[in-house]
Amino acid sequence: MTKSYEKVAQAEKTAVQLLKQFEGFRASPYLCPGGYMTIGYGHRIFSDDWGPISQELAEKILEADVSRFSSTLVRILRKKIDELSSNQIAALISFVFNIGISAFKKSTLLKKLFEGAPAEEIANEMKRWVYSNGKILPGLVERRRIEAELFLSDEKEKNEGEEKNEL
């Protein structure tokens, strides 16, 4: 197994746990704040003729969704993925799961990633994505704060380690 594969596999596990926390489980179809029909843990559906699903099935669907978003993210980022930590990849999976691939591809965040912007700038870009239908949603503000913290967590540890070495 390559190091990148292991890193992405760990990121997917982290993202699943994060998304369970953010999305919460809903057995029956519902309209999410963005106005999309959804079921389980934020799985977008295109009709409301789904019956209730079990939590076990919702978890399997979430894992498949995360795998799909992760694979797409790896394809988009190509070699850039090697420069990211597992936590940064997990934060991006969660972020892209929420905003969608199309929006991510057009985002300033992606542009800054490719330009090699500092992690703090990337995290700040995440925090800008708090609107749904023109309104700031407190749940998105909190979600972006947590995603940004996760994105920066390895940087913080690295910097704290460097400070200790300087003493």
- Give the residue numbers annotated as catalytic, written as ranges: 23
Q: Are 134 and 151 in contact (CB under 8 A)?
A: no
Distances 49 to 30, 37, 119 between C-alpha atoms, Å: 11, 10, 43
- Among all chains, which residue has been given the structure tokens 């309209």? 31
Looking only at Cα atoms, what is the longest distance across the chain? 63
26 pairs with which residues across the strands?
Answer: 40
